[in-house]
Amino acid sequence: MVETLPDPSASDPERIKQELMAEAERELARRAAEESRKKSRPPADSDAETVLSGETLRVGGTSVYRVMHPASPVSAMVASALLAALAMVAGSGIGLALGFAPTAEDAYSSVGAMHDSAAGAALRSIHYQGANVLVYLSVVYVMHLIWSGFFRRPGHWIWWRALALCLLVLLFGATGQLLPMDQNAVHGTHIRLGYLAEVPVAGEALRSALLGGDEIGTATVARFYALHAIVLPALGLVLLRRFWRDARQAQASRASLLAHGLVIGLTVLLVLFLGSVSPAPLGLSGDLGEPFEDARPEWYALPLYQLLKWLPAGVMQLLGLVVLPLGAAAFLMVLPWLERVSAEPARLRWPLRLLSVAVLALCVGLGVWPLIEDGRANEGQGAGLFARHDVEHLMEALKRRNDALGHSRHEGLPDDAHRHARDIWQLAQQLREPLRRVPADERAKYPERPILVDYNLQPDGRLDDVRARRWREWVDAMEAGARRLYAANSDADQRKAREEIRKACVNCHDSYDVNDPVNPEPRRVVFVTRTVEVKPEVKPEVKPEALLFFDEAKFKGLKAAEVPGKTSTLMKRMKTCCVELLQHAELLKADKPPTRSIEQAFLDLQACSAPLPVIHDQFKKTFPYPGWKQACDDTDLALRELLKARRGDDFKARILKLGRACDTCHELNEEVDFRFSDLFK
């Protein structure tokens, strides 16, 4: 007998009712558990609030970032902008490397050649402004990680990669500044290497390793170029591999690919816009022997620059230079170990946010302060980026370049004539710019400061159009001659171009009644065509007083010792050189004999006096700038006259003049108790 099975489609009201009640009870229990879990856990304080469950948040590995990032579209956007800026800087850097010559003699000329071409100037501007944008984005990325709490474990590898990126970007800027080899690059690097030498234990060794010699030269340029173009990019590729992986994982966030493309496009447009508005600068060729008071660090190093200006020399400057940056770096490194992501509210959330905002505001204030000081420096004439040099300053720089090109038509040009030609070219452009009508109140406010247009004013104050037109003609002629000299290949073309420059300068001097000669007339050359009897030369007896104190022949094989980077050591070196010169002249007796020869002592003294004009900031509280500049000028003039001194009373009179210039400075500074006149007591 076959049992009849119940029809499954048949309705069983009682069974259906029981199943619905059981399903409702399960749903109510699930909702109650969800509400209980939400109430028992406080809301997270970071963008990682969706990943607080223990199943998905692990210690170590990249899965942490892969899970945390979906709630952080800002991180994804900043990562895309950083990668776009990195690509522009790297691409333009490769193009610049193809035309760069990493030697002290040719670095400036190679950069100048790129600067003069449209493509090279565009590449330099993109590289320069791309690096600035990269620094800005790196700081924004670190600030966002602090604000969002992504520095906490187990996301510490994200934080450390961001810090490594900031350090790498700063090292790129520090090593790349020297490569153009202009005045700001050479003097700025010289100052930074001097600061580096003051770091305890390893400072002097690092400075010697980077310098590669006694002064900035080809070895220094080659080492900075190797670091900038080989070592740091290799480290950057290792970091970029991890950063690219993080960025790809970040693209799974709520932001769409269109938003990423928009951010990348805006970053590219920003770099191009900044490059067109503010091209990469290139000043006069670098020369440590020529004073350069306008040396300034990069904009992101201005806060540290201003802090060092305020701190007194010695221990306090060492604290600001070494302890403060290293302490801040150590704090940022150990920050992940102070707190980790958990269901508990973060203890350091608001303290770190307030601290980061306060530090950022302090850095901005310290960075703006030197810009305000530079704008008001030199009685309104400006300094640094705001320097507005008067005619006398430009003419002095022009005279030094003309003298370096040689005096005689029959005299060959130096090997670096192209470098001086480019400097004359730039100076001619600066001489043309100030040719404008200056308001009467400005002339009345600064009557002691010559203004170019004052040379072309009529007695009634109107601009003399005839003289102004002639001035432009002379400047155009000088610039044209400098261009021809810069591009000349043969010796004959170089001499012809040099004569064009000289002719323009002479015509200008004659018109304005300037007595300072420009490249004196060449010496006459007499050719003897007949045989003459040569008699033995009888040298007359020369009295000791008629002999020069210094032997010019002995200067050829000598080289000045390395200039100390610390100001106190520099002053002690100058005092020692003066004492030894007095010992050689038998004007002073000491327990120990001099360790230097006469010529070596003078070379060392002259080298130590070269950086004096650029260290006024350390004494500005006790010594006003005009007085300091006058003392430096008097010292330089006394040294040049001392080189021509003869033995006996003439040398004594000239070195006493040098001593008076030193004492003038010491009398205004109460902290200095040494007087040059005390040596003769």
Q: Please give the residue range of the domain that contains residue 105.
A: 63-279+292-297
The per-residue pLDDT for 383 is 79
Q: Which two tokens stand for residue 267?
A: 């970053």
Average pLDDT over residues 586-613: 77
What is the amino acid identity at position 427?
L
The per-residue pLDDT for 528 is 33
382: phi then psi, degrees, rounded to nearest 5: 90, 165
Check whether 124 has a pLDDT greater than 70: yes
Give the chain's mean pLDDT. 76
Same domain, 148 and 275: yes
The per-residue pLDDT for 616 is 62
Q: For the segment 327-381, what is each residue's pLDDT rounded down to a tens digit?
A: 999 999 998 888 777 656 677 878 888 999 999 999 999 999 988 888 887 766 6
Report the percent of the chain where pLDDT is more than 90: 17
The per-residue pLDDT for 78 is 81
Check whether 542 has a pLDDT greater than 80: no
Half-sphere exposure of 199 (CA within 13 A, CB side): 18
Same domain, 275 and 399: no
The per-residue pLDDT for 294 is 84
Q: Which of 240, 271, 297 is the last residue of a domain?
A: 297
Report the percent of the chain where pLDDT is more than 70: 73
Question: What does each C-alpha distance from 363 to 144, 322, 327, 369 come to in angstroms?
Answer: 17, 17, 16, 10
The per-residue pLDDT for 440 is 61
Same domain, 461 and 573: no
- Highest averaged pLDDT of the listed ranges 102-116, 478-492, 575-589, 664-678: 102-116
Same domain, 76 and 35: no
CA–CA distance, 155 with 60 (Å, rounded to integer): 8
The per-residue pLDDT for 46 is 40
Q: Which of 79-83, 119-123, 242-246, 573-577 has the lowest mean pLDDT?
A: 242-246
- pTM value? 0.65
* 305 within a domain of the structure (yes/no): no
Same domain, 558 and 668: yes
Average pLDDT over residues 58-78: 50
Higher pLDDT, 313 or 224: 224
Q: Which of 270, 297, 324 is the last residue of a domain?
A: 297
The per-residue pLDDT for 681 is 53
Average pLDDT over residues 4-16: 57
CA–CA distance, 398 with 420 (Å, rounded to integer): 9
What is the DSSP secondary structure assignment for residue 346, as one 8-state letter? Answer: P
The per-residue pLDDT for 274 is 93
* 656 within a domain of the structure (yes/no): yes
Same domain, 243 and 143: yes
Higher pLDDT, 614 or 420: 420
Q: Which of 297, 324, 345 is the last residue of a domain?
A: 297
Q: Is 660 exposed, middle or buried (0-12, 13-18, 19+ CB in 10 A)?
A: middle
Average pLDDT over residues 415-420: 81
Same domain, 499 and 619: no
* 369 within a domain of the structure (yes/no): no
CA–CA distance, 311 with 245 (Å, rounded to integer): 44
Q: What percent of the chain is helix, strand and coil (3-state, nearest 5)?
A: 65, 0, 35
Average pLDDT over residues 116-128: 92
* 350 within a domain of the structure (yes/no): no
- pLDDT confidence tier of residue 471, bands split at 50, 70 and 90: confident
Same domain, 497 and 561: no
Same domain, 182 and 255: yes
At residue 414's C-alpha, the angle toward residues 409 and 419, to 5°, is: 115
Q: How many domains does the chain have?
A: 4
* 327 within a domain of the structure (yes/no): no
- Compute the chain's Rg from CA coordinates: 35
Q: For the segment 49-60, what is each residue's pLDDT rounded down to a tens digit?
A: 333 333 343 433
The per-residue pLDDT for 128 is 94
Q: Contact at 8 Å (CB) between 471 and 456?
A: yes
Same domain, 500 and 573: no
* 356 within a domain of the structure (yes/no): no
Question: What does each C-alpha distance from 511 to 60, 192, 304, 518, 661 come to in angstroms?
Answer: 79, 45, 48, 13, 35
CATH number of 160's domain:
1.20.810.10
Q: For the segment 266-293, what is each residue's pLDDT rounded down to a tens digit?
A: 999 999 999 999 899 998 888 888 888 8
Same domain, 126 and 204: yes
Q: For the segment 426-436, what is each residue's pLDDT rounded down to a tens digit?
A: 888 887 765 54
User: Helix 465-487 to helix 417-432 angle, to the nearest 10 degrees?
Assistant: 160
* 207 within a domain of the structure (yes/no): yes
Same domain, 589 and 669: yes
- pLDDT confidence tier of residue 223, bands split at 50, 70 and 90: very high
* 217 within a domain of the structure (yes/no): yes
CB atoms within 10 A of CB 481: 24
Helix (H, G, I), strand (E, B) or coil at 356: helix
The per-residue pLDDT for 511 is 66
Q: Which of 46-55, 302-311, 484-493, 579-588 has the lowest mean pLDDT?
A: 46-55
